[in-house]
Amino acid sequence: MSSWAERVHRRAADLGNVVTSCGHPATAPAYPYRLEKVKFGVSLEEVCKHNNNIPAPLLVLILKLNKESPNRRDVFRAPGHQGAMKKLIHFLQAGRLVNVDNYSVFTIASVLKKFLRKIPNGIFGRNGEMELFAINELQNEAEQTERLHRLFSSLPKYTQHLLVLLFGTFRVIASNAAHASTGMTSEALGVSVAPSFFQSCVSDGKTARMEDVLKFKVATKIMQNIIDKFATHDIFGRENYEYYARVTGRILKVQDEWICSFQYPPPPRGKLAQQKYALQHSLEAEKTWLQCQCERWGLRP
């Protein structure tokens, strides 16, 4: 198992109070806890009832996407391997250990979309979806941002955490779309994931109605808008952005303010001081990555 995978599982264990390492049986240590089951087709409250937070196996999948998807083409658009998807879903629902290195980002993204699509009434809830459609009609951007922030803040904490991780991952993918030529812009992501977030856009019958098609177009625009505003507007709240930075290890800038992992001292005030601070820790992160690669390939740093 790669050093990155080890760090991801260690972080998930700390957050979820479970061990989610995926080493081979011959070398793996004894596991004192049973893994949390990730149930499909039940409410998010039921899924997150253990410690009132995201199950660690689900968290590991999101972290893999956050790490590896930005430089891969068509993630969340290209379908995953059907057999691998069934196997991964079975392992998640049974609470079995999962070696995420055995699954492609396309398979994991497809499983995650299915998990979201199976949540009764959707991750936003029926009222939340109606509010998002109403917010989309507003012409004043400041009012839009305020109502988005109010809506997300009203959701349960575990829902807020899941949303900030998902949209943070979408934002990283969209930000790298042009540079890495992945094709996954915020618009492409909106088209690909909107049906998993907005259940009111999915027809109950086999034939889509014109009303559903029009709703889907609006839902796509809403998703694109949230992805674009993830770091430029404070729509999730400082606490959730800090949670995202702490879990993913990423440094992000929200409304000209740097937010990073708690393992670092608080960032200084002032734009120039913050830029210097961010550069310093970006170099440290790059150094850590190089050291890991040297260790992986048996080279001396």
Higher pLDDT: 28 or 85? It is: 85
Contact (Cβ atoms closer than 8 angstroms) between residue 166 and residue 58: no
Q: Which residue has the higher pLDDT, 85 or 13?
A: 85
Q: Could you give the domains of the chain?
A: 32-252 (1.10.555.10), 263-300 (no CATH)
Provide the pLDDT for residue 278: 59
Q: What is the mean pLDDT of residues 188-214?
A: 82
Is pLDDT larger for residue 256 or for residue 107?
A: 107
Does the pLDDT of residue 289 top 70, yes or no? no
pLDDT at 76 over 80: yes
- Of the listed ranges 113-122, 223-232, 287-296, the one predicted with least confidence: 287-296
Give the pLDDT confidence score for residue 222 in this predicted structure.
96
* 35/37 Cα distance (integer angstroms): 6
For residue 268, what are its two tokens?
């200084």
Q: 226-256 as b/e, with b when 16 or more CB fall inside 10 Å? A: bbbbbbebbbbeeebbbbbbbbbbbbbebee
* CA neighbours closer than 13 Å in the CB half-sphere of residue 173: 33
Integer CA distances (angstroms), 209 to 20, 198, 215, 221, in order? 43, 15, 10, 19
pLDDT, averaged across the chain: 82
22-41 per-position pLDDT tens digit: 333 444 444 444 578 999 99
Which of 5-9, 41-45, 152-156, 227-231 shows the lowest per-residue confidence on average (mean pLDDT)?
5-9
Selection from 62, 224, 241 nearest residue 149 by Cα: 241
Interval 256-281 mean pLDDT: 59
Whole-structure pTM value: 0.76
Rounded Cα distance between 92 and 41, Å, is 13
Question: Of residues 136 and 273, which shows the higher confidence score?
Answer: 136
The two structure tokens encoding residue 52: 């009132």
Helix (H, G, I), strand (E, B) or coil at 258: strand
Taking 90 as the threshold, does the pLDDT of residue 235 lie above it? yes
| pLDDT attached to residue 55 | 92
In whole angstroms, what is the distance from residue 114 CA to residue 117 CA? Answer: 5
Q: Nearest-CA neighbor of 56 among 113, 100, 101, 116?
A: 100
